[in-house]
A and B are shown apart, each in its own frame.
Chain A
Amino acid sequence: MVALIGRKRAPGALEAEIMQVLWDRAEPISAREVQEALTGPEPATTTVLTVLDRLHKKGLVRRCGEGPRKVRFTATQSGEEQASTTMLSALGGATDREAVLLKFAGNLQPDDVDVLRRALEANTRQRG
């Protein structure tokens, strides 16, 4: 699941790994525990804290704890809930800079619908 290119992680892979670690734990854990639970090349503690902060801003991670040195982290949604949300957003449509999935329904743009409509109207006129 984790895309690694040599010793470097692919963009976004560390976020995904950290979310997986948090989903695997029932209780909130510290950044140090997150760091130790990661597999593959070990990132610096500051990197883990930066990513946790980014995830917190995205609303995916909740911070708890009394002081700055005792702060702990937990996921706001379960893995299944998050997967459903992201899956639907992934399938909901792609911009012209994103790869398109071969879906049965929903890949046609309004212009394509017009092309189809014009062709059907022309076919009807020819037959009529």
Chain B
Amino acid sequence: MPTAIGCLVAAALLMVLAPWLLARGNWQVARPRLALGAWFTALFTGLALVAAALVGTVLAATSLAVAADSGRAGGGALVTVVAWVSLTGAGAFIGLVSGLSQPLVDSYRRSLRRLSPVATAREDRGAFTLVRFNSEEFLAVAVPGRRPEILLSSALEAHLTPEQLRAVLAHEYAHLRHRHGLAVRIAELNALCLPRWVPAGNALRRATLLLVELAADDVAAGQAGARTLAGALSRIGQATHDPGLELRAARLQAFRSDATQPCGLPLPVRI
């Protein structure tokens, strides 16, 4: 029983301290993949501690019940009640997760259903399908799943050089290869499950959305060259007046150097 309480206290401390610690300093901007790993390690450690507390409570209740049956111990009613309450809580948590995940999935499907009628060309590139569509917006979107897709707007294709376009595709392909979609969905679900007054939920969601973009930038910069990707970001940033894109370009130039030669684009991205 003391072990179970210790696990719960450790989980609560982790939920409070991890966002505070991980958001300190600027290291996550320089090392986004490491930071993403640290955030999700904290999340899964917290979940494991809660699960361990649950299992510990149930085991303590069972052993006390066995001891009471054989006349070696009396009482244990409190532990049994706590075990049942824990199991009920676990059931409610599973129900909450499954109840909240469906609206998220529906929301995602709605967005994708809206996209498909305006596709102008679909090209099978092995690892993903490249879907071109007419739009005046500068859009490139990675759609993970069993049949992954990268959606590319006509405006983006017209506005960038072929090298820059390949760098953008390498960025989107990095999202698919490194399962960034799954990370975002887990962070969104975590934020929905926790009450709004608990900052850990929104902190993980925000950090994930930023870090997956920076991590994909780093992968694409390594493949297509930091200068090329920074050029693409800067060009779209100037056209859309989005300061975030200009800063992502500046980050690539500040934290990565083109002294290291790009390692070359993956085959599906070479167009």
B51 part of interface (Cβ distance < 8 Å): no
Query: From residue B19, how far is it (CB to closest CB) to chain A in Å?
Result: 13
| Best-surrounded residue of A86, A104, A124 (most CB of chain B within 10 A) | A104
A87 with B212, Cβ < 8 A, contacts A102-B172, A104-B140 known: no
- Please name 12 pairs of A and B residues whose Cβ atoms are closer than 8 Å in the assembled complex, sorted by A: A79-B117, A84-B118, A90-B114, A96-B205, A98-B107, A104-B140, A104-B141, A107-B213, A108-B244, A112-B209, A113-B243, A119-B29
* CB 8 Å contact bits of A79-118 with B (1 = contact, 0 = none): 1100110111011001011111111111111011101111
A104 touches B117 (CB 8 A): no
Q: Report B-chain residues with C-beta under 8 Å of the C-beta of A105.
A: 138-140, 236-237, 240, 242, 244-245
The 8 Å CB contact of A90, one of B115, B142, B245, is B115
- Which one of B62-70, B178-186, B262-270 is at the interface? B178-186
Check if A91 sits within 8 Å of B111, measured CB to CB: yes
- Chain A positions 48-102 with a Cβ under 8 Å from a chain B Cβ: 79-80, 83-84, 86-88, 90-91, 94, 96-102
The DSSP consensus for interface residues of chain B is: helix
Are the CB atoms of B30 and A119 closer together than 8 Å? yes
A10 CB-CB contact with B under 8 Å:
yes
Q: Is A39 an interface residue (CB 8 A)?
A: no
User: Which residue in A1, A16, A101, A109 is a CB contact (below 8 Å) of B141?
Assistant: A101
* Residue in B30, B108, B142, B248 whose beta carbon sits within 8 Å of that of A99 in the complex: B108
Contact of B114 among A11, A83, A102 (CB under 8 A): A83
Whether B188 pairs with A111 at a CB distance below 8 angstroms is no
Q: In chain A between 5 and 47, which residues have their CB closer than 8 angstroms to a CB of chain B?
A: 10-12, 16
CA distance A124 to B30 in the complex (A): 13
**One of B1-9, B10-18, B76-84, B249-257 contacting the partner:** B249-257
The answer to whether A102 and B107 touch (CB under 8 A), given A86-B114, A108-B213, is no
> Which residue of B109, B175, B209, B251 contacts A3 across the interface (Cβ within 8 Å)?
B109
Q: Tell me whether B192 is interfacial, beta carbon within 8 Å.
A: yes
Instruction: Please name the residue on chain A nearest to B156 by beta carbon.
Output: A104
Cα distance, A90 to B133, chains bound together (Å): 15
Asked if B48 CB lies within 8 Å of chain A CBs, one says no
A96 cross-chain contacts in B, Cβ below 8 A: 191, 202, 205
In Å, the complex CA distance between A5 and B105 comes to: 13
Q: Which of B173-207 contact A (CB under 8 A)?
A: 175, 180-181, 184-185, 188, 191-192, 202, 205-206
Greatest chain B CB density within 10 A among A1, A16, A87, A111 is at A87
Residues in B whose Cβ lies below 8 Å from that of A87: 114-115, 118, 133, 135
Min Cβ gap A84→B in Å is 6
Assess whether B106 is interfacial by the CB under 8 Å rule.
Answer: yes
Which of A88, A99, A102 meets B104, CB within 8 Å?
A: A99
CB of A4 within 8 Å of the partner chain: no
Q: Give the one of A113, A118, A119 with max B CB within 10 A.
A: A119
B247 at the binding interface (Cβ < 8 Å): yes
CB contacts (< 8 Å) of B113 on chain A: these are: 1, 16
Question: In the complex, A86 Cα to B135 Cα: how many Å?
Answer: 12
